[in-house]
Amino acid sequence: MSALSAPPSLGAFLLSRSPPTPSSTWIREMTKDVAAYSGVYNTVLKGKGGKEVKVAIEEDYSSISKRVWDCSVLMSHQLLHCHLNPSPLSLASRSVLDVGSGCGLLPICLSKFGQLGAKECGHLVATEYQDGILEHLGGNVAANGGGVEVRHLDWFDPKSVFDAAAEVDTVMMSDCTLDPSESPAIVTAFEEIVVASWKGKAAAAESSGRRTDVLVGVCVERAGTASFLSLARERFLVTKLESFHPEYRPELNGKERYAVYHMALSKKVLRERLGEEVTPEGEYSLEGYELLD
């Protein structure tokens, strides 16, 4: 049984809500203070046995790709919460490709999980598409001790997507659904990466049982979120996750502001793209990790 084999009560884990907290003091996007996004952003990851790791991210308000966005903070702590507890969303030994990494908070936090009393993630890759942003991303990775490969990926460029599509286990993206016109390219990029990874694992006779999936964090108020989800559901089985770190909730003032979705290519698309010889016999469950007969 692989490290990602589903523990008991998988559905309950994914769909049960953690108790709400009285405040959302970690949410910064509602502030009008420009200075809040200049300098260094710090977050503390808390692990087992009182272990803690601080991640420090240099920010620059001049670019939206050089700021820490709240959704990446939410995902970082949510995934750590899943990683430290029995969960089908544990990233233990899983390779991760983060798309649109910005200043790098999410992949950098993932690189610290092994220091917090849990098994390390697998190979981590952070991606961006402009030289200046890549340089800023690489600087933050280096300042936090490395452990993350930085690569170029432009979801509008098929060759760029193909070059990044190694045998990855999990593809991630946080808060990149700002523009509805970009939604088709993002969904297509996800599909191409997942398909290429499936082909690579099949060619290598991958036997770990790992299946390439996608985790996407969104701000529900962004202009492109609805179109992205609509297009994604045409090709993927999409499940909204409802289990969060108890101190990092997706609501603000009682209203949902953020959401995180698990996505797995549908059986129909797998057959269409890979053929019967590669497609698993069973259908993905909504959780995307277990195959149903």
User: How many Cβ atoms sit within 10 Å of the Cβ of residue 269?
Assistant: 18
pTM as predicted: 0.85
- Rounded Cα distance, 148 and 127, in Å: 10
- Rounded Cα distance, 112 and 166, in Å: 22
- Amino acid at position 147, single letter: G
Check if the beta carbon of residue 195 is closer than 8 Å to that of residue 162: no
| Residues in CB range of 193: below 8 A, 6 or more apart | 97, 161, 164, 165, 168, 171, 212
Q: What is the pLDDT of residue 86?
A: 80
Q: What is the mean pLDDT of residues 255-281?
A: 81
Quick: pLDDT tens for 7-63: 333 333 333 333 333 345 678 887 767 666 778 999 999 999 999 999 999 998 888
